């Protein structure tokens, strides 16, 4: 039996990290200034969505199953909310994230870096949004991958429909302007780029990042993603 503790909304709301993100979240009052909301831009899924999901798919990517050794990297508390096109919170949406580990290896057997995989890093996680559309992950600050600036992959689903595939980037990272996917967004890149800020008084150098997601009104057609793994379904 897996006795691993799952980091919950209550855990995070009571932590020091919330002081950094609450001010940002307060700017997104449901329904307020809805006409100013911009839909989060869709981006490619990429080729390395895990082709074999770990048994552990919770929202704490640092601890895998019952391991006592955490994954290597800068601990990051990643929060946000999922909103619809009118600014209303989306409840019971499934938010999935995946990213390479601190060695630049994805949880995918076709990744050329797979042999360097950090066996203690989960690499993938899921969270079901609450009544205010909030989500929370404990993960690591993303690192560069060969040919790419640091990023975290996202998928948001409602029921059996995929509503959005996108990526999140580090504000001010020198690799961003060299990254074709980030650069291709133009001014919309700001919508998927955020600060990874140090948490005050954290003794282990934890960071906090906040990413608000605004969905469109129609599901995606994932077949149009030319980078998508053709062997994967769903």
Would you say 164 and 156 are in contact if contact means Cβ atoms under 8 Å apart? yes
Q: Number of structural domains, the chain?
A: 1
Domain assignment present for residue 182? The answer is yes
The owner of tokens 């909304």 is 9
The pLDDT tens digits for 24-81 are 444 344 444 444 689 999 999 999 999 988 888 999 999 988 788 999 999 999 999 9
What is the Cα–Cα distance from 156 to 107, expressed in whole angstroms?
A: 19
Domain assignment present for residue 233? The answer is no
The helix (run of H) or strand (run of E) holding residue 81 is strand 75-83
Domain assignment present for residue 4? The answer is no
The pLDDT tens digits for 145-198 are 999 999 999 999 998 899 999 999 999 999 999 999 999 999 999 999 999 999
CATH code of the domain containing 60: 2.60.130.10
What is the Cα–Cα distance from 149 to 127, expressed in whole angstroms?
A: 25
Domain assignment present for residue 232? The answer is no
State the maximum Cα–Cα separation within the chain, in Å, rounded to a whole number: 48
Domain assignment present for residue 108? The answer is yes
Domain assignment present for residue 230? The answer is no
What is the Cα–Cα distance from 136 to 157, expressed in whole angstroms?
A: 16
Domain assignment present for residue 150? The answer is yes
Domain span at residue 130 reads 9-224
What is the Cα–Cα distance from 26 to 221, expressed in whole angstroms?
A: 33
Domain assignment present for residue 92? The answer is yes
Pair type for strands 193-194 and 213-214: unpaired
């Amino acid at each position: 039996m897996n006795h691993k503790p799952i980091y919950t909304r209550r855990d995070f709301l009571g932590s020091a990290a919330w002081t950094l993100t609450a001010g940002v979240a307060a700017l997104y009052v449901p329904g307020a200034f809805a006409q100013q909301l911009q839909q989060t831009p869709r981006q490619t899924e990429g080729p390395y969505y895990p082709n074999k999901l770990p048994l552990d798919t919770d929202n704490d990517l640092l601890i895998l199953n019952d391991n006592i050794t955490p994954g290597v990297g800068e601990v990051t508390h990643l929060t946000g909310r999922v909103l619809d096109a009118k600014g209303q919170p989306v409840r019971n949406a499934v938010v999935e994230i995946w990213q390479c580990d601190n060695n630049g290896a994805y949880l995918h057997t076709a990744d050329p870096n797979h042999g360097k995989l950090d066996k203690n890093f989960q690499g993938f996680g899921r969270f079901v949004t609450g009544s205010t559309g909030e989500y929370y992950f404990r993960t690591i600050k993303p690192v560069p991958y060969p040919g790419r600036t640091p990023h975290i992959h996202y998928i948001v689903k409602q029921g059996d429909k995929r509503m959005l595939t996108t990526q999140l980037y580090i504000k001010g990272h020198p690799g961003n302007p060299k990254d074709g996917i980030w650069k291709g967004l133009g001014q919309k890149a700001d919508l998927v780029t955020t600060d990874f800020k140090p948490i005050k008084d954290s003794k282990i150098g934890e960071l906090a990042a906040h990413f608000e997601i605004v969905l469109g009104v129609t599901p995606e057609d994932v077949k149009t993603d030319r980078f998508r793994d053709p062997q994967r379904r769903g």
